[in-house]
Structure 1
Amino acid sequence: MIVHPECTFEVVSEADVVGSTEAIIAAISASPPGSAWAVGTELNLVKRLAQDFPEQEIVFLDHSVCFCATMNRIDLPHLVWALESLADGTLVNQITVDPETSRWAKVALDRMLALPGPSGLKD
């Protein structure tokens, strides 16, 4: 089982590998044919991995989760639009939250960034 650190604490604690999207892709691409992976991350990435590595068994860890529409907008055209808007002096898609939410969001990000190594492999 390989999961992204944004999964719940319980899922991350039980995972064989915890890592970023890049680490998940690298681990699966480096594994031998016939490997089996239950993947806990965004659904469209899991579908793409299953398509790119048909010699492996790759399944989505949680079939009750819908695809992430926001992740689907992280693409080159939307990035260009956001950067061009900033260059024109227009701030788009700014997110503001209360101080308590901001504090806990920073805790979550700091914990995610503090995960060991590029692959997060457990001993």
Structure 2
Amino acid sequence: MKEIINRIECLKRQKNAVILAHNYQIPEVQDIADFVGDSFALSKKAKEMTCDIIVFCGVHFMAESAKILSPEKTVLLPARDAGCPMAEMITAEDVAELRKQYPDAAVICYVNSSAEVKAVSDICCTSSNALKVVRSVPNRRIIFIPDENLGNYVAQQVPDKEIILFNGFCTTHKRVKVDEVDAAKRVLPDAKLLIHPECTPEVVKKADFVGSTAQIIDYATNSDDKEFIIGTEQGIMHWLQKNNPGKKFYLLSQKLICPNMKKTTLKEVLNSLENMTYEIKLSQEEISRAYSSLNKMLNVG
């Protein structure tokens, strides 16, 4: 493994490449990355980087977003088949049909979506900034796509808006059941329960804190509490345990593993840099149309 790591570091210098990794990646990929973060943080980094090449250790829609925000850079996705089931649940045609039904509504698109869906949306959001984005839109009626669970959570926080939901969902977060939450709380009654809003409303209601990946990390890091039950993808445990040695973290459910996020290995990162695979390619029209919704999101913060 050390030989692979040394080779990756050498190629990064030679090719002026930067490695971005999502918090849900396997530990060794997180450790080799120049920057680790959630979707919002990685979107910002992709735009800010002055490199020639971005190696994006995540899933397809994330690498697409990096390309949209930095069209002059070469963006590589090491694991070609690392997709996102939620992103595949909605199409541009679905958005067009929703607009026909609700012509006065703004379309807010969760970043977990394809470039073609972003291109026909008014503005994007992440789980970190969804509330800010919804509040920033002047329309009272909002079509929120594609995650119905995040959309439902947002709707509870903004009663002055009418949120129209689509029936998309994260297949990983939706697996968690209320009885698992109750069982965990019985075993660990003093632990704080931190839940991602992609979980179902019944699970979210049980949380001590609801937030994005980055917000969960910040809460656990800054809290005076010492024990936490983590209700999001298992990859986050690596960062939490590594950077909070005096605290204990327990994964809420063994179901919280995204198979697509685990497809990227160090060998694939090395192959990506050596052979420039697999490059994300979008037409100029796709980029220009999708850029608007992503850039508006970044401007909201």
Q: TM-score, normalised by structure 1?
A: 0.60
- Counterparts of residues 55-66 of structure 1 (less than 5 Å): 55-66=72-83
For the residue of structure 1 that corresponds to 2:63, the secondary structure is: helix
- Counterpart check, 1:35 vs 2:72: no
- With over 3 angstroms needed to count, the CA separation of the structure-2 counterparts of 1:68 and 1:115, relative to structure 1, is farther
Aligned match of 1:45: 62
- Counterparts of residues 1-123 of structure 1 (less than 5 Å): 1-32=19-50, 35-69=52-86, 71-72=112-113, 77=144, 78=148, 79-81=150-152, 95-96=177-178, 97=180, 99=184, 106=230, 108=234, 109=236, 112=239
- Contact in 1 for aligned 2:25/2:57 (Cα 8 Å): yes
Q: Does 1 or 2 have the higher relative contact order (CA < 8 Å, sep 6+)?
A: 1
Provide runs of 4+ in structure 1 moved above 6 Å: 102-105
Greater share of residues in strand: 2
- Contact in 2 for aligned 1:43/1:68 (Cα 8 Å): no
Once the two structures are TM-superposed, the CA of residue 27 in structure 1 deviates from its matched residue by: 1.5
For the pair shown, the structure with the greater C-alpha radius of gyration is: 2
- Contact in 2 for aligned 1:50/1:59 (Cα 8 Å): no
Render the CA deviation track for 1:82-111: whole Å, top value 9, x for unaligned: 6658x8xxxxx67333649x9996285565
For the residue of structure 2 that corresponds to 1:106, the secondary structure is: strand
Structure 1 portions without partners, runs of 5+: 88-92, 117-123
Once the two structures are TM-superposed, the CA of residue 18 in structure 1 deviates from its matched residue by: 1.3
- Contact in 1 for aligned 2:61/2:83 (Cα 8 Å): no
Structure 2 portions without partners, runs of 5+: 1-18, 88-111, 114-126, 135-143, 160-173, 188-192, 194-226, 244-301
- With over 3 angstroms needed to count, the CA separation of the structure-2 counterparts of 1:65 and 1:82, relative to structure 1, is same
Aligned match of 1:90: none
Once the two structures are TM-superposed, the CA of residue 62 in structure 1 deviates from its matched residue by: 1.4
Q: TM-score, normalised by structure 2?
A: 0.29
- With over 3 angstroms needed to count, the CA separation of the structure-2 counterparts of 1:35 and 1:105, relative to structure 1, is farther
Instruction: Report the count of equivalent residues.
Output: 108
Corresponding letter in the other structure for 1:40: C
RMSD: 3.8
